[in-house]
Amino acid sequence: MERTAEPSILGKRKTPPLKERIVNIVHKFLLLLTRWILRFIYGEHGQKVSPIRNEILLESASSLALKIRTKKLTSVSVMEAFIARCKEINPLLNIIVDERYEEALKEAEKADKLIASGTLTEKQLANEKPFLGVPISTKDCIKVKGLLHTTGLWARRSTRADKDARAMELMRKAGAIPFALTNVSEICMWWESVNTVFGRSRNPYDTNRIVGGSSGGEGALQAAGGSPFGLGSDIGGSIRMPAFFNGIFGHKPSRNVVSNDGQYPETVTKEADRFLTIGPLCRYAVDLKPMLQIISEENTKKLRLDDLVDLKQVKFFYQLDDGGGSMVSPVDQDILEAIDKAMNYFRSTIKADVNRVQLDKLQMSGPIWFGNLKEKDEITLDVQMANMEGKINPYAELFKWFFGMSNHTFAVIMAAVTDRNGVQHGTPEYHALVKLRDELLQEFDELLRDNGVFIYPTYPTVAPYHNEPLVRTMNFSYTAVINALGLPSTAVPLGIGREGLPIGLQVIGNLNQDRLCLAVALELERVFGGWVEPNV
């Protein structure tokens, strides 16, 4: 398919230095070798999760809420259906780490009694408790009172939440009933959900593949029909990568819109709070907006989520890759074709203004994220790994790991080593990366204004094999740079690719223009189908 662009918008790519080109060539060879080895170990394809037989499980959270408050379904029957599905799929996928099924069923009974009493009209219920009686899940780093709160960290393996995180508290007030807690990567600092407390989670489309991280268990649970919707958190792509790998929707809100209260690791600096945000994960785009309205509280006013969006008036800009970032994988052909189809639809059918662009600074996405995350008073990773009680020695842990004696995963140990030896706050390199971030943010602001969206790959390949992220460490830069900028972004599924795994893209808006991302996601779902059941 021919790709065209306006010459005034599409710039020429910069040729990387010779040393970097050599590194990238060696890295590509390593990727091919690793893929061959892993395919030999795991086989071409793993198992798929069992088919969904109960039609309740195929409903959106919004549809379930409507049917519950209009007495077409009971909250108890809905809760029983999802609990049964969780019990069915978890032995294969290993995605649920704690649950409150009995308590959730009792709360579902109370919801049904409230509706039957007629104390509140259907309209009042819709306004005051829009998700009354609907099950909700979340990841094991967001507090749910009484459930484990380990963040996949061995030192926290027995820690339980003393209260709900603010976002979960708000969802409860809206009537949702927490019922399941899902697996994460260790300390939420890796993009494969594996840890020494609960082990490794597996993709419902192919159990040989990863679910992503750190909201990986959450993404897989919803893709497999085990939960209608849930909360995730995102500091470098932890909502959007799991959404992409599992073929569902995930939205990273604009910075400082949703409270981060009730997470571990805690955000103790302004810069960390700018990067990290809680956001919705769901199978159907229709659930994104009402969830965001609830968890953003008074900030929903500045998001103007109820403003109508005319897609004909939206300007679409798209870029097919990062321009050649160091040690970043090439974008799969399936993903390139999917973006092309989406852009051709908006260009030819919607008659929107669509332009391909080339933002050269995106080549530095990884370094921008690493450098800008640093702050003078930050709590380093080696302290967080010790549960804020002293600090671990990552070199000693690495030695222990080789003999199977460490309570930490290899990926996070290496992250701690990098944290010690990477860019440090206040250095000339740090200031250069801050300047680069600010320049890129200005470019996005000038490009998008208040009526533009940027279409970009969520990740360059479909879900890798287990452990394969260890040689694809920089691929997370496609999502991470958006955290550094603080912009909103929605991961949108676009069907199944040649390898039988989900593909998709991310829709990025200017600051507080989340409604544009959500409107585009709804349209893409309508045209291209959205989530596809794993066994279909």
* Cα separation values, 217 from 157, 212, 283, 286, 311, Å: 17, 8, 14, 22, 33
Q: Which of 103, 53, 105 is nearest to 78 (CA)?
A: 105
Both structure tokens of 177 = 């009933």
Q: Beta 489-496 vs 249-252: how paired, if at all?
A: antiparallel
Residues with catalytic roles? 139, 214, 238
Region label for 71, one of left (φ > 0), alpha (ψ between -120 and 50) or beta (otherwise):
left
Distance CA 371, CA 480 (A): 12
18 exposed, middle or buried (CB, 10 Å; 0-12, 13-18, 19+)?
exposed
Radius of gyration of the CA atoms of the chain, in A: 22
Q: DSSP string of 394-452?
A: HHHHHHHHHTT--SS-HHHHHHHHHHHHS--TTSHHHHHHHHHHHHHHHHHHHHHTTTE
Residue 300 makes CB contacts below 8 A (sequence gap 6+) with: 292, 293
Q: DSSP string of 447-497?
A: HHTTTEEEEE-SSSSSPPBTTGGGG-GGGGHHHHHHHHHT--EEEEEEEE-
